[in-house]
Amino acid sequence: MMQLLQESASYLQHRIGGFAPEFGIILGTGLGALVNDVEVEHSIPYSEIPNFPVSTVESHSGKLIFGKLAGRAVIVMQGRFHYYEGYSMEQLVFPVRVMKLMGIRKLFVSNASGGLNPAFNTSDLMVITDHINLLPGNPLIGKNLDELGPRFPDMSDAYDEEMVRQAMVIAEDLGFELREGVYASVQGPMLETPAEYNYIRIIGADAVGMSTIPEVIAARHMGMPVFAISVITDMGTPDRIKKVVLKDILEAAAVAEPKMTKIIRELVRIQ
């Protein structure tokens, strides 16, 4: 695995020359417009990168973008990978590990999720403060990659408290409400039944999705601070469950995306 990671990192370093990234950003479903704010220097399709998975979800572009956001050097994943696409946990986090080998110091993650907290509304933004892993595994199972991190990484601070506080201040200064809460990840690709929504709420989640947690685990294993944010694209509370198709999710994400972009851009600027 380390050889595969190093091959991919070396290939990308050759493609980007002297570009030295500081931060990694993963864009979720319907949230790719942040790339419009990036001064793009290099755009590399996943299909051209040795050992990289390729996104199979229609709303995920499948490109690695290198450029400047708010004057800082970033790598942006325009499209991510999901367990339901048939990838292993190691494949899901492969790009995060490659970005770390390329020098990034912090990871920013976004996703689209279903709201479980009755105080939430569609198109709200929720900063993730903790998570519940309901996926059938995690990327650290198996032989530990000692070159990357310890066998038993502590997860008591999976999401960086300082960046959470900074995001709340940024949102207040910009004049909009930013929620906080716990994110649960399930395997998908089907959305949850009413009983499943209720169960996930009972065990402590404010939102549920199908991504993010493997990437966060891998990042924390490597000692990287993480900031993660969810766009609430539909509601899973008993009185507001309705049939949802991808078009609805993309439309709800598009409403919140400009606010999310402002938060991430400003956070990157002040790190």
Rg (CA), the chain: 17
Q: What is the DSSP string of 161-190?
A: HHHHHHHHHHHHHHT---EEEEEEE---SS
Query: Which pLDDT score is estimated for 21?
Result: 96
58 burial level (CB within 10 Å; 0-12, 13-18, 19+): exposed
Nearest by Cα to 167 from 215, 126, 207: 126
Neighbours of 180 (CB within 10 A): 16
| Residue 130: alpha-carbon gap to chain centroid | 14
- The distance of Cα 171 from the centroid of its chain, to the nearest Å, equals 19
For the chain, what are the domain ranges? 2-270
Confirm if 215 and 91 have CB atoms less than 8 A apart.
no
Maximum Cα interatomic distance, the chain, rounded to a whole number of Å: 54
What would be the CATH architecture of the domain defined by 2-270? Answer: 3-Layer(aba) Sandwich (3.40)
Question: Looking at residue 186, what is its pLDDT?
Answer: 98
Question: What is the per-residue pLDDT for 28?
Answer: 84
The pLDDT of residue 253 is: 86
Separation CA 203–CA 161 (nearest Å)? 22
**Who's near 39: CB < 8 A, 6+ residues apart?**
67, 68, 69
Give 138-182 pLDDT, tens digit per residue.
999 999 999 999 999 999 999 999 999 999 999 999 999 999 999
Q: Give the count of alpha carbons within 13 A of 219, CB side only.
A: 28
pLDDT of residue 153: 97
Determine the pLDDT at residue 57. 58
Report the distance separating Cα 142 and Cα 189, nearest Å: 25
Give the pLDDT score at 247: 84
Q: 126 with 206: CB under 8 angstroms?
A: yes
CA-nearest of 33, 120, 150, 24 to 76 is: 24
Query: Mapping DSSP to helix (H, G, I), strand (E, B) and coil, where does residue 12 land?
Result: helix
Q: What is the block-wise mean pLDDT of the chain (271 residues), using blocks of 10 residues? A: 95 94 90 87 94 68 91 93 93 96 97 96 96 97 96 97 97 95 96 96 98 98 98 92 85 90 95 93
pLDDT, position 252? 86
- Is residue 11 a contact partner of residue 40, using CB atoms and an 8 Å limit? no
pLDDT attached to residue 135: 97
